[in-house]
Amino acid sequence: MAASTTTTLDDLFSNIIKEAIFVSQETSLVRNLVTTYDISGESGKVVQVPVYAEAAAAALTEGTDMSSTAISTTSKTITVSEAGVQALLTDMAANSAMGDVAGDLGRILGESVAKKMDQDLIGLFAGFSAGQGTAAQEITVADIFKAAAVLRANNAGGTPSAVIHPYQAYQLKSNLTNAFANPNGGDMQNEAMRSGYVGTIAGVNIYESANIVIDGSGDAIGALFTPQALGLAIKWDINIEPQRDASVRGWELNATACYGVGELVDKYGQSLTFDAAL
C-alpha cells in the first residue's frame, strides 16, 4: 500500500474543498433567488441595506425650474454568524478507500452547508405580512396568479419565484391537470403529465424544496417573492480547514460558512400557507 505524503494529502484536501464549494453553491436553491451581498472585504458582522422610497415624476412647464423631491430611505440590518459541520477522514479511509473520497466528503459537507443556508432563508417566509391560503387548504393555480398580481400591484421588480413543499407541488400539478386526467391539455399540462415539471405559471418560476418544514397539522409555509424581498449577506462562503487528530489516526475536516439572512422589502413577498399532505 502506498504511503500518504504531505503532497498527496494536500491534493486530497484541495479536491474536497473544491467539491464542497461547488455542491454548496449548486444545491442551495433559495440563495440563488434572493439578493446577495458579498461583505468578505468589509469589517464587522453587520450590513446595513438601504431601502429607497418611490419617487413620483410630474409634468413640467417649459422655462419653469423643477422643484426638488426629497427621497427618504430606510435601512434593513443583516447580521452574519457562523454555521458549520465537521467530518472525520481517517488514515485508513484516505489510504485504502475504493471510491472517490474527496468527492464524497466534499458532497456531504457542501450539501450540509447548502441545506442550512436554505433553511435559514425559508424561515423568513412566515415573516411576510401578507399572503395566500390557510391551514388545510390545498394550493391551486389561481393562488399563484393572485399572489403574482399582488406583487405586480406593489411594483415588485425582478422575476418572481415561488418555493413550495413537494407535497404542495403535487397538489398544484393535480389542480393544473384536472386531477391528472388532463382533458384537452395545453403545453403546460402536457409537460406536467410527462415529467412532473411545473415550470412557469403567471410569469412565476415554481420551485420545490423539501427543506420546507411541515407542521404538526400537516401544513407548510412556502412563499412567492422577487429577489428584492429577501437578502443574504455572505462574509465567507464554505471554507474547510483540516486539523490532524493523532489519537484517532485521522483528520478533522471543519467546514464553516459565515452569513446572515433578512427580509428587505415586505410587500415584495407573499407567504403561501397551504396543506402539505398527500
Write out the residue range of the structural domain in which residue 122 sits. 6-275
Task: Name the one residue in this structure whose C-alpha cell is 472517490.
Answer: 100
Note whether residue 1 is domain-resident: no
For residue 156, give the nearest of 75, 269, 232, 53 by alpha carbon: 269
DSSP three-state, residue 121: helix
C-alpha cell belonging to residue 206: 415554481
Q: What is the pLDDT of residue 65?
A: 82
For residue 71, give the nearest of 93, 90, 88, 52 by alpha carbon: 52
How far apart CA 34 and CA 206 sit, in angstroms, is 14
Q: What is the pLDDT of residue 195?
A: 44
CATH number of the domain enclosing 36: 3.30.2400.10
Per-residue tens of pLDDT for the chain, all 278 residues? 344 444 445 566 677 677 667 666 656 889 999 999 999 988 889 888 877 777 777 787 888 888 777 777 788 899 999 998 888 888 887 777 666 676 677 778 878 888 899 999 999 999 999 999 999 999 999 999 999 999 999 999 899 999 999 999 999 988 887 766 655 555 655 554 444 456 889 999 999 998 999 999 999 999 999 999 999 999 998 887 888 889 988 888 888 899 999 999 999 999 999 999 98
Q: What is the pLDDT of residue 116?
A: 93
Note whether residue 50 is domain-resident: yes
Domain count, the chain: 1
Note whether residue 256 is domain-resident: yes
How far apart CA 261 and CA 265 sit, in angstroms, is 13
Note whether residue 116 is domain-resident: yes
